[in-house]
Amino acid sequence: MAARILIVDDEAIIAETTGLILRQLGYAIAGQVASGEAALAAVAREMPDLVLMDINLGNDHEGIAAAETIRRQHGVPVVYVTAYTDDDTLARAKITHPFGYVTKPYAARDLHVAIEIALHNHQQDQRLRQSEQALADRAEHFAALLATTRDGVLETDEQGRMLDVNQAYCELTGYARAELVGQPLSFVEARAPSAQLAAQPSELLRLSGTRFERQHRAKDGRVIDLEISVTHLAARGRVVAFLRDITRRKEVQAAREAAEAVFRAVWEQSSMGMRLTDAAGDIRAVNDAYCRLVRWPREALVGQPFTCIYRADDVAEMQRRYQERFAQRAVQERFSRQLQLRDGRALDLEVTSSFMELEHTVMLLVMFQDVSLRKQAEAAREEMARTLKFKNQELERLVYLTSHDLRSPMLNIQGFAHRIAGDCAKLRGLVEADPFSPKDRAAALEIVSRQLPRSFGFIQAGVEKMDRLIASLLRLSRLGRAAFEPKPLDLNAVVNEALNALAFSLQAAEGEVEVGALPACAGDAALVSQLFTNLIDNAIKYRCPGRGLRLAITGEVREGQVVYCVADNGVGIPPEQQERIWEVFFRADPVGAVAGDGLGLNLVRGIAERHGGKVWVESVPGEGSRFFVALPVASTATAGTG
Ligand code: ADP
């Protein structure tokens, strides 16, 4: 595009001519004005590429003044046109840094050369100014960066002497800039002098372009961990270092390493089995305790689905529940469960689980505590508590028996013994009387033949009663003392034995006995035999006088227990007394002439409870009774110990 030129000349003819020449030279005319003022307005309006200014415009160097303003305010180059020039005018014109002079009258060529040189120079000028501006901008930018960056910046010479430091470095170290500038790097380096960078300037230069860690010492003696990157500006003989405070980062890293060490120790030394699984349910890590618990080697577990150790039947359901829980991030605080392993073992476990994010992956940490031993201990404790309760009841029964029932026959014996003593005294008086009258003789005879034998009879009955009670007492105490050894029992054998022992009474009772297939139970042979003997004996004792005894003994497994039933067609028990028959010495109506002491059923209940079982009765007076006994099933576990 043609350069646009503003012509400023108060001589219209010259201005016109100049315009013509310029057009011929291929320039465009941006305007033609005659005064300095008009020139300023035209420049502001037209922004020409160049102003051709008559130096002798008006008075008082009006053209020069206008040229100065144009250059300063608009940066438009001015070429002076002058016919004659005195030194003073020229000197003034020079101050305004014109881009050229043309002397009137001029040849078109001179004008062309002057204008082209002026445009070229102006262009160069502008470029220079632009790059100067860019440089200044960059410097400003850089200064701002140094001022605002949180990294420390140091500039040193090639020997490591500090030439400049930024504010961040001053704040980091607590030094003022003035305290640092001029000092060698060793002034701030916290290492032993031999290892300081300042001691080996070549080392400093060698590290250029790398990033490394060093420690500097703050003014208050604090050691600061720094990450340093160094650039060697060889052309300027300078080294610029950026220093980042990584003390906190190091602390965090140290804390993290410590936490990791703790975690590793807990992981490997814990007695709890620990397993880490990912979203797919694959095992990422297991600890030693886990391997010991499930008896699988670590290599066979890691990378496999966590279900690989479980019974095949459970796997699909386990996987489904796992995915569901994982999706919901649902953890169960702590719960107990039994897991069936593929090798057939069952593990009683207490399980705790939690989700955690490790290296940006969410994983499930599950901790397993083997509680089989604890469960065994708990079972043993329960068993002991049952034994203790049983023994206490025994003690109560014995105390009651001794204090109450042994006492009444004893009082009887005591009373009749007194009476005998009295009768004997009376007899002696009668016999010693002189004369021994026939009346006395009759009285003595009465004593000897009736009163004394009757008293002896009562004493004997009392002694027999005491003997029976003591025998029961012994039976009871044997139950308490005997070692309790439960094992699987063949109940048909036990019941047959009891029936054989009672064969005579059964025959006398014209008994018809029916025994079903009885499931085995876990029990103490002697005690269970005693239990059934008592029940069968009662069925014989409390049979209906008018009809022959019919006895049925059956058994079935119900909810983990064996329930046996001894059913008779005897006298039955009134409903309101059915609860009380289990009490010590209680005898229901009607017992009639049936001998007994009301201890048998108490013993039966004691034996059942000793096994963790129970007893109850269903009975209809006049029709018969059904006595039920629940005892533990003979499990394989019990069989193993038996
Ligand atoms: P005892 O037979 O020595 O009286 P038990 O404790 O064995 O003592 O029985 C308590 C009471 O329960 C008996 O006195 C009797 O009244 C009643 N009883 C026990 N077994 C039966 C039965 N099979 N039929 C009817 N009543 C019974």
DSSP string for 193-251 = GGG-GGG-HHHHHHTTT-EEEEEEE-TTS-EEEEEEEEEEEGGGTEEEEEEEE-HHHHH
pLDDT of residue 482: 67
CB contact at 8 A, 55 and 33: no
Is 537 close to ligand 1, i.e. is its CB under 6 Å away? Answer: no
pLDDT at 636: 47
Q: Could you give the CA distance from residue 245 to residue 586 in angstroms, rounded to a whole number?
A: 93
Q: Is the CB of 48 under 6 A from ligand 1?
A: no
Q: Is 536 in the pocket of ligand 1 (CB under 6 A)?
A: no
Q: What is the distance in A from the centroid of ligand 1 to the CA of 523?
A: 24
Look at residue 637 and tell me whether its pLDDT is greater than 50. Answer: no
Q: In 3-state terms, the chain is what percent helix, strand and coil (to 5)?
A: 50, 25, 25
Task: Quote the ligand 1 centre to 593 CA distance (angstroms).
Answer: 12
pLDDT at residue number 205: 82
Chain length of the chain: 642
Indicate whether 199 pLDDT > 50.
yes
Q: Give yes or no for residue 84 having a pLDDT over 70.
A: no
Distance 392 CA to ligand 1 centre (A): 23
Instruction: Give mean pLDDT, residues 427-444.
Output: 89
- Asked whether 315 and 307 are in contact (CB, 8 A), the reply is yes
Does ligand 1 come within 6 angstroms of the Cβ of 573? yes
| Window from 186-200, 353-367, 384-398, 596-610 with minimum mean pLDDT | 186-200
Q: Which range has the worst mean pLDDT, 184-193, 301-310, 448-457?
A: 184-193
Residue nearest to atom 3 of ligand 1 (CA): 596
Mean pLDDT of 6-21: 90
Q: How confident is the model at residue 196 (pLDDT cuts 50, 70, 90)?
A: low
Supply the residue whose CA is at minimum distance from atom 19 of ligand 1: 538
Q: Has residue 131 got a pLDDT over 80?
A: yes
CB of 615 sitting under 6 A from ligand 1: no
CA distance 266 to 359: 19
pLDDT in the model for residue 638:
39
Q: What percent of the chain has pLDDT over 90?
A: 45
Atom of ligand 1 nearest to the CA of 543: 24
Distance from the alpha carbon of residue 596 to the mean position of ligand 1, in angstroms: 8
**Range of lowest pLDDT (309-318, 327-336, 367-376):** 327-336
Instruction: Tell me the CA–centroid distance for residue 542 and ligand 1, in Å.
Output: 7
497 C-alpha to center of ligand 1: Å? 21
* pLDDT tens-digit map of 530-570: 899 999 999 999 999 888 999 999 999 998 899 999 999 99
**Average of pLDDT values for 468-486?**
72
Least confident piece of the model among 29-33, 258-262, 315-319, 373-377: 373-377
Whether the CB of 568 sits within 6 Å of ligand 1: yes
245 lines ligand 1 (CB under 6 A): no
What is the reported pLDDT for 641?
31
CB atoms within 10 A of CB 505: 14
Q: Kindly report the average pLDDT of the chain as a whole number.
A: 87
* Dist CA 634 CA 488 (whole Å): 5
Give the global pTM. 0.43
Whether 319 and 281 have beta carbons less than 8 Å apart is answered as: yes
CA of 541 to the centre of ligand 1 (A): 8
Question: How many CB atoms neighbour CB 516 within 10 A?
Answer: 15
pLDDT digits (tens, 9 = 90+) for 373-420: 888 888 889 988 988 887 787 677 667 767 766 777 888 899 999 999
pLDDT score recorded for residue 424: 94
**Which pLDDT value is given to residue 639?**
35
- pLDDT value for 481: 67
Q: Of the residues 538, 576, 620, which should be mutated to test ligand 1's pocket, given the most ligand atoms within 8 Å of the CB?
A: 538
* Ligand 1 pocket check for 539: Cβ under 6 Å: yes
| pLDDT of the residue at 194 | 62
| Residue that wins the pLDDT comparison between 472 and 523 | 523
Q: Has residue 587 got a pLDDT over 80? A: yes
Distance between CA atoms of residues 436 and 431, nearest Å: 7
Ligand 1 probe mutation, 506, 542, 616, most atoms within 8 A of CB: 542
Query: Closest ligand 1 atom to the C-alpha of 602?
Result: 6
Residue 591 corresponds to which tokens in the numbers above?
A: 């017992």
Residue 625 beta carbon below 6 angstroms from any ligand 1 atom: yes
Write the residue with the smallest CA distance to atom 4 of ligand 1: 598
